[in-house]
Structure 1
Amino acid sequence: MPSSEVSLALFVPLKAKDDKVNDVSQFLAAGLDLVLANEPETIQWYGVKYADTIPPTFAILDTFRAESGRAAHLNGKVAEALMANAPTLLSTGPQITQPTILANKVTVLGGTTKTAGLTVGLRVLLDAKPEFVQAVKEFLIGGLELVEAETETPVWYAFELPGTTKFGIVDFFADENGRNAHLNGKVAAALFGKADEWFAKPPSVVKFDVIAASVKM
């Protein structure tokens, strides 16, 4: 299955004010148009809404081939609009992290829908015990082979936050069947089988809905 030549990312959780949920959704939908019109170095871009979180939480994930693309995005129109609207829309400031992508699977589903054919996803955060940081990194890189065999997992990223013990997985699916298949698949079973040994606390798993997405190769 295809992999995208992206090595860098931005992952930005956004905690909305209770009465601004619809406004944040609309902001992310509009943000896609700004990215497409102004950011050729932003390769993939996703705006999502977490399920059943308090406060209501959204997130942006975008990927880049080079640091120049990430810098351009951080100084671009979406970031400018986000910072300008944050005091009105968000209960706290944007939590910007800059992951390095360890492995990815990106399959373009086709079509011109606002979500690029992706409707739901998963976000998994992992905090490794210091002595198992390398083992977790190697597991995530090697896990791509298992994910490639999952025909209903079209988009999958494994990343690390450099200089920390923290890792993450974000993946996207065309429908709930794909998400359930992944949750019951070999990658999840292997990961959770190591949870007590490798991680300082249990993996944090959140389901989300896709608001907008641009998936390029």
Structure 2
Amino acid sequence: MMIISPSLLACDFLNIESELNAFEGFEDLWFHLDIMDAHFVPNLTFGHPIVKLISKKTKIPLDAHFMVSNPEFFIETFKDFNIHNFTFHIEATENSFELIKKAKKYYPSVGVSIKPKTPLEDISSEVLANIDLLLIMSVEPGFGGQAFIEESYERIEYFNKLKTQYPNLTIQVDGGVSNINADKLRKAGADNLVAGSYIFKEGPTTYREKVESLRR
């Protein structure tokens, strides 16, 4: 089944514990954490204390997306926060393979992310053979609520064709995801959809409905 990853960047921060609890009992769900450093991207979001608190308040797998200039630092500092998936940007380092090996010591799943304008060939066969997840950004990283970039479908299809070589590869898509494009994303090859504004904008009473609408 398609995994849905509600992006907590869009949740009600003043009531974050009740927001987390509203998803308890949902199946095939991850909580997506956008970790931004105000350097790799212009925004600044979750710090260590908040992620530590979140990890203690939910049993739903945590999916951390590091939009940071120094992902190696976070591999060490987040290792005790019960993070299920650790994703860093291919553009943030020249040593992706070494970082993947290091992250795999601490995290069940390790992924890399690629910006909308980054050449697809920048992700080497060595990287693809060793990651668990590839995050295709369908908006420019740094801010929530952006419009979906239509060229993203072609990028998803490109990597979906490579699944014959890398059958364990999960393709995650983040940015402008809603019920309008979810079916087309699935048909292009997406296995995991990150959605923030679409899920959270109308409040807790719609969360289950919104999650299920992304799977139809």
TM-score, L = length of structure 1: 0.34
**Per residue, is there more strand in 1 or in 2?**
1
| Larger RCO: 1 or 2 (CA < 8 Å, sep 6+) | 1
TM-score when scaled to structure 2? 0.34
